[in-house]
Structure 1
Amino acid sequence: MLVQKYGGSSLRTLDRVRHAARRVAETQRTGRSVVVVVSARGTGTDDLLRLAADIGPARSGRELDQLLATGECESAALMALALDARGTPAISLTGHQAGIRATGRHGDALISEIGAARVRAALDGGEVAVVTGFQGVDRAGDVVTLGRGGSDTTAVALAARLRASACEIHTDVDGVFTADPRVLPAARRLPWVRPDVMAEMAFAGARILHTRCVELAAMEGVEVRVRNASSRAPGTTIAERWDERPLETRRAVTAVTHDTDVARVLVHCRDGRRDLAPEVFEALAAHGTVVDLVARSGPYEHEFRMGFTIRRGEADTVRAALHEVATAFGGGVHVDEDVGKVSVVGMGLLSRPEYTATLMSALAAAGIPTSWISTSQLRLSVIVPRERTVDAVATLHREFRLDRHEPPDATPAGSGRSATV
């Protein structure tokens, strides 16, 4: 059994829908059972959001989810019709019909279970099951959408539930690269990536897969393959693999990622004895806001200060809540939206302090100002001015020699120490 997911760009036109149907039909003819998960076509979700905005402020998350779910329903029905036209029997199923249960708030629900009885029945009957991504049904029987990356997560969840051999994510690029090839032509396709590294890349700005999808695949042991829907390129496989190279001469840095959907937030209060951190995190959690690069003042300082980054698109949503927390104690909130986050992602980075030194030295030599840095074994992240984000990506990609195929041993330029890049 194989699960294939086709994104919005892969289905943007009817010709692309027919092309995707042809690939699905070819796969089924090899004797495999195929489940297809689809997103809304092209800019369908954004178009529906604009329609809702034209009507007026969306006060009901339920009604907005009812509207957004129609985009995937259209894609699923068109895919099933295209398969039928090719002589391949198919049935389209909504998230509810496929038995996808979800929990949580509208617009950002989590998959809790998948019944999949109708999916199995379709496969047993020789049909291709075409399932709507991005949606499920809650305990009340209402449609709930899964938020960013929801269709990818649907595909992986179905692959796990059905014990499929793999989950293929068909998109508009040839796989996962050492940097975004749309901004850095020198970026190289990676034939395979470890799941934990891919999850970190996704969180740090790589737009190929969403973090939730990769995390679920790692937990359930699902092999994910990222492929171009328009070509026969081999793509990238995301799975644990045995590496025969000597343990400490493997390349530690896998990729450089960037994210311009970032805002830098500083919460401060003149009374250093008042710890606002619990209230700040509660306000962020109430809005489902994910934070990164968190730093705060210590207990013996005269002023409370806490800084972190959030998605720039969420700044207006949380600004008022954070302002209420801070001003109650004579403090305030400052939000800077003119920044970008650049990250070096790999394995064992914290154990190699020369890598952080190389990152900072390279950016300084390029005249790129930096602020707020975070380090871990999987990721080194730094904040730069938004207009210099792409320059920073190019600088670090070159400094860590990611434009070259992996040598048996290498030293990052300027590190002054022997280390594998």
Structure 2
Amino acid sequence: MLIVKKFGGTSVADKERILHVAGICAEEYHKGNDIVVVLSAMGKQTDVLLTQAEEINPNAPKREIDMLLTTGEQVSVALMAMALESMGVPAISFHAFQAGIYTTRAYGNARIERIDTARMEEALAQRKIVIVAGFQGISEEGDYTTLGRGGSDTTAVALAAVLKADVCEIYTDVDGVYTADPRLVPTAVKLKEITYDEMLELATLGAGVLHNRSVELAKRFGVEIIVKSSFQDIEGTRVCDWTGRKDVTGVLERGMISITQSLESTTMEEMLVSGVTADKNTARIQLKGIKETTKEMYKIFLKLSEQHIGADSVLMSPGSDNTTDISFTVPRDRLKETADTLKKYSEESTQTVEIGIEDNIAKVSAVGAGMMSNPSIAVSMFEALYEAGITIEMIYASELRITVLVNEEDTLKAIRAIHGRLIEKQLR
């Protein structure tokens, strides 16, 4: 059996944690399994490196930022190999070049294009634990790149796909995927299973458990993911396709209480909301007075795409004088780049477009299958927000989610109100 195990920064934050993780991997190895380990940088090392870069040059080239950040993972994989060797377990560490992880040249947000598995397969054949630096790759030109924050998850899933691993285990500081962040909503419920689509929505909309691109890859290549804790040896959450579910019994657990249900049961039909999440890393862009809407939208989103800026929750509405207004959200940490890009568009455009920016907002979403076909969910969600005294700035809905924009200071109140109405009420 081939298992890919990924451990985040908190799991390898210091000597004790590294030795603990090494023990987990050694135990699995002694069961006769082949093991590939993917590691993030130790603790907050990535943040430390970014601070150092800011102190030296606030406008440092992205290439050099990536060159710097990739050192964090190289430290953790080398130390992990040393820890395993001290336990009598043969191990070898690889950084991106040695692991053959080739990416696009988009520094800071590169995408994996191909992986040359030859060296890893050779090491596995020699019964060594292979330890790979997550979060990083190399471009075809030979430069280091990074995959974006949380990218080690994507490294792990990509390796599981190309190596045809039996499972990809993502170890974090929580013991699974919850219906909301349990640090914000103490009554949040741990899910035993969740679909790729639902997990992708949660990850994209602010849930920090998995990198959204890792879920995209898992769905595309059918990689089974299990999210579990590196601090406690308890059952985690399985991320899968509905058609691949082994069992739909006990999909939800809350303390010692379990809900037993089948696909045919009324309870299962009603349990449509898998989670509530919030994303404060959000800014709203409003473009007013657009003529020749289709042509201009093409130009605007082409400009954003060229800078690898993804827009979400795109809405159109009639403006004045036969024009169109467009509203969309972007990550707040990409706001400066977005504003610069739109300014360039405006300078090149033959028409005058008013650009408005809001950065004091948050995106709060309810995620689940069949949202649009069950209008009562939206009604209940809006009622909960109304009763909590929260003003909705914008609404976006799809088959898998209902998203509202609220004032940033109302984020916690909104999460708890929606979770209480859409999830807790159904469990009573």
TM-score normalized by the length of structure 1: 0.92
- Over residues 198-256 of structure 1, what are the superposed CA-to-partner deviations in whole Å (9 max), with x where a residue is unaligned? 01111111100011000100111110011111111211111121543316642111111
Q: Please show how residues 102-121 of structure 1 align to structure 2 within 5 Å.
A: 102-121=103-122
Alignment of structure 1 residues 337-348 onto 2, 5 Å: 337-348=359-370
- Correspondence list, 1:350-361, <5 A: 350-361=372-383
Conservation of the 8 A alpha-carbon contact between 2:319 and 2:325 = no
Which position in structure 2 is the counterpart of 1:286?
A: 306
Residue 328 of structure 2 aligns to a residue in which SS? strand
Q: 1:181 — aligned with what?
A: 182
Matched, 1:385 2:403: no
Asked if residue 376 in structure 1 is aligned to residue 394 in structure 2, the reply is no
Task: Give 1:302 shift.
Answer: 3.3
- Please give the alpha-carbon distance, in whole angstroms, between the structure 2 residues aligned to 1:143 and 1:324: 29
Contact 2:273-2:422 within 8 A present in 1 as well: yes
8 Å CA contact 1:133, 1:152 repeated in 2: yes
Take 2:371 and 2:335, find their aligned partners in 1: how far apart are those partners? 30
CA distance in structure 2 between the partners assigned to 1:389 and 1:254 by the alignment: 19
Report if aligned partners of 1:106, 1:144 keep a CA contact under 8 Å in 2: yes
Shift of 1:404: 6.0
Q: Does 1:99 pair with 2:100?
A: yes
Counterpart Cα distance in 1 of 2:107 and 2:219: 26
Structure-1 residue corresponding to 2:254: none
Measure how far apart 1:116 and its partner are.
1.3
Structure 1 stretch 218-227 or stretch 318-327: which is displaced more? Answer: 318-327
C-alpha displacement at 1:160, in angstroms?
Answer: 0.8
Q: CA-to-partner distance for each residue in 1:382-412, whole Å, 9 max, x for gaps?
A: 011101111111011110133764x8xxxxx
| Partner SS state of residue 170, structure 2 | strand
| Structural mapping, 1:10-409, within 5 Å | 10-240=11-241, 241=245, 243=248, 244-246=262-264, 249-250=267-268, 251-269=271-289, 272=291, 276-298=296-318, 301-326=321-346, 328=349, 329-402=351-424, 405=427
Provide closer, same or farther for how the CA distance between residues 248 and 291 of structure 1 changes in structure 2, counting only shifts above 3 A.
Answer: farther
Cα distance in 2, alignment partners of residues 326 and 297 from structure 1: 20
Output the aligned Cα RMSD: 1.8
Structure 1 gaps of 5+ residues are: 408-421
The 3-state SS of whatever aligns with 2:177 is coil
The percent of aligned pairs where both chains have the same amino acid is 39
- Are the equivalent residues in 2 in contact too, given 1:255–1:346 (CA < 8 A)? yes
CA contact (8 A) 1:294 1:307 kept: yes
Deviations 1:308-342 (A, max 9, x none): 11111111111122134346533321111111111
More helix by share: 2
- The letter for the 1-side match of 2:377 is Y
One-letter amino acid of the counterpart of residue 263, structure 1: A
Instruction: Give 1:11's aligned amino acid.
Output: V
Deviation at 1:156, TM superposition (A): 0.5
Tell me the SS of whatever aligns to 1:384.
strand
Task: Check 1:30–1:404 CA distance in 2 against 1; reply closer, same or farther (3 A cut).
Answer: farther
Distance 1:182 1:293, change over 3 A: same
Judge conservation of contact 2:273–2:423 (CA < 8 Å) in 1: no
CA–CA distance in 1 between the matches of 2:297 and 2:280? 26
SS at match of 1:268: strand
Are the aligned partners of 1:283 and 1:318 in contact in 2 as well (CA < 8 Å)? Answer: no
Indicate the larger mover: 272-281 or 100-109: 272-281
SS of 1:253's equivalent in the other structure is: coil
Q: Using the TM superposition, give the Cα deviation of residue 121 of structure 1 relative to its aligned residue in structure 2, in angstroms.
A: 1.3
Distance 1:375 1:51, change over 3 A: same
Q: TM-score normalized by structure 2?
A: 0.91
CA distance in 1, matches of 2:190, 2:17: 24
The amino acid that maps onto 1:216 is L
Tell whether the 8 Å contact from 1:188 to 1:403 is kept in structure 2 after alignment. Answer: no
Change (3 A) 1:27 1:301: farther
* 1:316 aligned counterpart, secondary structure: helix
**Unaligned 5+ runs, structure 2:** 249-261
- Equivalent residue letter for 1:239: C
The answer to whether the 8 A contact 1:268-1:326 is kept is no
Secondary structure at the residue paired with 1:9?
Answer: helix
Partners of 2:321 and 2:30 in 1: CA distance: 69
By how many angstroms is 1:161 displaced?
0.9
What is the alpha-carbon distance in structure 2 between the residues aligned to residue 26 and residue 301 of structure 1?
Answer: 70
Q: Tell me whether 212-221 or 297-306 shows the greater mean CA deviation.
A: 297-306
CA distance in 2, matches of 1:104, 1:247: 50
What's the offset of the Cα at 1:30? 0.7
Residue type of the alignment partner of 1:402: E
> What's the CA shift for 1:59?
4.3
- Does the CA contact (< 8 Å) of 2:288 and 2:319 recur in 1? no
* Count of aligned pairs: 405
Offset at 1:194? 0.7
